[in-house]
């Protein structure tokens, strides 16, 4: 059971979302269509953290709604999870132009929002999609080809959890090898959850 009640956590998340909607801490507020704050249950045991919204996410204000979202939904099913059970967020709440990688100052500007989400939700597991999100949570550079598919102890924003770094689902759309790696990782994740 969560130390705080669901309503309390939802209130914290609503305040953070309001802050995100009026945020002007970096250049991205000028080019975004909508903020993409996060979706899912406030008391989720599993959280997904990716790097930034893409085109469709920017249009709809929701994470993972394009082709990468369809891929993610299929991968979650492989792990025995439903999308509705997990909380999904990005490091950046605004889309970088042309889907470029987030810049260090943008990550820094958005960090309090992600820290707030993680410390409010207190997930037991976080699935980090891509090297940028894994690196942010671990506080060091990540080589995904060497580190994907393993469960590591992690503390971020004063919250301790198990971190599972893997490739970004978008990479699985363009590379057959990465698609197989992702499928294997999520299958492995499903096995790990059965043991917990």
DSSP-based three-state secondary structure for 99? helix
Determine the average pLDDT of the residues in 161-176: 91
**Is the distance from CB of 120 to CB of 13 less than 8 angstroms?**
yes
| 16 inside domain | no
- Structural domain includes residue 9: no
Q: Is residue 66 part of a domain?
A: yes
**144-154 mean pLDDT:** 96
Q: Is residue 117 part of a domain?
A: yes
Residue 37 belongs to a domain: yes
Is 0.75 topped by the overall pTM?
yes
Give domain status of residue 11, yes or no.
no
Give the residue numbers spanning the domain of 82. Answer: 25-195
| pLDDT tens-place string over residues 68-94 | 999 999 999 999 999 999 999 999 999
Give the CA distances from residue 17 to residues 13, 21, 67, in Å, rounded to whole numbers and listed in that order: 6, 6, 25
Q: Is residue 13 part of a domain?
A: no
| CATH for 31 | 3.40.470.10
Is residue 14 domain-resident? no
Bridging pattern class, strands 152-156 and 159-166: antiparallel
Mean pLDDT of the chain: 94
Question: How much is the pLDDT for 66?
Answer: 86
When divided into structural domains, the chain yields a total of 1
């Amino acid at each position: 059971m969560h130390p705080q009640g669901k309503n309390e956590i939802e209130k914290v998340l609503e305040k953070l979302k309001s802050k995100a909607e009026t945020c002007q801490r970096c250049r991205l507020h000028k080019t975004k269509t909508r903020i993409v704050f996060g979706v899912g249950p406030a008391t989720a045991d599993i959280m997904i953290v990716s790097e930034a919204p893409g085109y469709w996410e920017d249009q709809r204000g929701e994470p993972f709604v394009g082709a990468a979202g369809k891929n993610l939904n299929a991968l979650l099913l492989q792990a025995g999870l439903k999308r509705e059970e997990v909380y999904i967020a990005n490091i950046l709440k605004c889309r970088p132009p042309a889907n470029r990688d987030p810049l260090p100052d943008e990550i820094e500007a958005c960090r309090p929002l992600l820290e707030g989400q993680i410390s409010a939700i207190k997930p037991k597991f976080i699935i980090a999609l891509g090297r940028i999100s894994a690196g942010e949570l671990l506080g060091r550079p990540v080589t995904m080809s060497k580190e994907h598919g393993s469960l590591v102890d992690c503390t971020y924003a004063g919250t301790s959890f198990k971190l599972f770094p893997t490739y970004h689902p978008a990479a699985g759309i363009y590379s057959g090898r990465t698609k197989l790696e992702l499928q294997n990782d999520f299958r492995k994740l499903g096995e790990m959850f059965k043991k917990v």
